[in-house]
Amino acid sequence: MSGDREGAATILHADLDAFYASVEQRDDPDLRGRPVLVGGGVVLACSYEAKRAGVRTAMNGRQARALCPDAVVVSPRMEAYSAASKDVFEIFRDTTPLVEGISIDEAFLEVGGLARLVGTPRDIAARLRGRVLAEVGLPITVGVARTKFLAKVASGVAKPDGLLVVDPDAEREFLHPLRVERLWGVGAVTAAKLHGLGIHTVADVADLGEPALVSLLGPAAGHHLHALATFSDPRRVTPGVRRRSIGSQRALGNRRRSPAELDTILAGIVDRLARRLRDGGRTCRTIVLRLRFGDFTRVTRSHTLRTATDRTAPIDAAARELLAESMSMILDRGITLIGLSLANLDREGREQLELPLDSRDEPATALAGAEVERSPAALDQALDAIHTRFGSAAVGRATQLGRDPGISVPVLPEHE
């Protein structure tokens, strides 16, 4: 027990349960109570009935169907998921103005100032769950705690369709018996390293001490895990914060992919992300390539540009260079997922300007009686206008003709 904690348990972490699959079960009564897989080649989401059979998100579809032969496979409906997310976030914002969206199916809410008006955080969380079920038709789990980290862990422990409040006096009793994998930042590699030293629970991490953790995992990870294991998380719920990075990824299954095919897939991801940058009035400087190999190990490669940009061409060039540098590993180990993130984001117009030394950035002379700018920025603007008016499939790269563009996963609005 730890009775010296500062503050009350007023932070809610609200997380929709098996979101995509729950929307499918809501909209099709025949799917309720049955194992559901969203996506055939690769499982984008699965219902809890399928999870109980061992199916997991991002699993190969053939493997998932072998584990759960009775599963019903449905095609993803991203517009339906986006609409459901908007309805849920309206309920969040109707509950409290202090809402920090994390993804389309989860958010943090601060309800500390509402006690006299609407009741305790537990009461508020219970009403929130009732409203989401009654008004949107979806189950949602809520964790309530003094810190963001503990609230998120609480919601994870309470799933599915649950409510768990971690009283400040019971934080140690709640957190320390849990597996180290519950700590943010502990993936398979870090967990294996800790397990190898006999460290299996959060209590073990706390007992190890910060100097030993730093020596074992490095300064950033060591300080981070020690802070979480000792209940130190000063982050507040921050509504309207702009994201520090944006990203997209595509699961590829287990089929071998040629370098040309991977280049085409990556180019499609670049096009979507660059347009999101411009739609949000943002620029980026760092391009991060994320790969998952056939043995499910992962690697990350990054490149930082000399100046910030929102143009497709330099982002595309950097991403392709990172892919080329990783190609020998891909060919040797296979690839099951490719993703790209754009980081070091800033507001458009704040980046340092460069002199237009490249002749390609100079305006062209008159063409067919009109002044036409042939700069890459003008091309991006023209393509954005076409996509806005006629849809994303109206125009694209020649290399993508006849190819599956992949699934565009819905994301939170830029200012959410």
**pLDDT tens figures, 305-342:** 999 999 999 999 999 999 999 999 999 999 988 999 99
Q: pLDDT tens across 101-156, in order?
A: 988 999 999 999 887 888 999 999 999 999 999 999 999 999 999 999 999 999 99
CA distance 50 to 139: 16
- Does the pLDDT at position 264 exceed 70? yes
**Among 49, 106, 110, 171, the one annotated catalytic:** 106
Which tokens hold the place of 399? 């290399």
pLDDT score recorded for residue 60: 85
Q: Is 290 helix (H, G, I), strand (E, B) or coil?
A: strand
pLDDT score recorded for residue 3: 38
Is the distance from CB of 266 to CB of 252 less than 8 angstroms? no
- CA quadruple 50, 52, 57, 63: dihedral sign: negative
CA distance 283 to 346: 5
- Does the pLDDT at position 360 exceed 50? no
Task: pLDDT band for 357, please (50, 70, 90 cuts).
Answer: very low
Q: Which of 133, 380, 346, 349 is nearest to 243 (CA)?
A: 346
- Does the pLDDT at position 403 exceed 70? no
pLDDT score recorded for residue 344: 87
Q: If you compute the radius of gyration of the chain from its CA atoms, what whole number of angstroms results?
A: 24
Distances (CA, A) of 228 to 110, 180, 205, 410: 20, 11, 9, 30
pLDDT score recorded for residue 348: 63
- Does the pLDDT at position 406 exceed 60? no
* pLDDT, mean of residues 181-210: 90
Give the predicted TM-score (pTM) of the model. 0.72
* Strand extents, DSSP E, 234-344: 245-251, 282-293, 298-309, 335-343
Numbered residues of the known binding site for Mg(2+): 15, 105
pLDDT score recorded for residue 377: 63
CA distance 81 to 118: 30
**Annotated catalytic, 106?**
yes
Distances (CA, A) of 375 to 124, 255, 284, 311, 398: 54, 39, 19, 10, 20
Q: Across-strand partners of 74?
A: 38
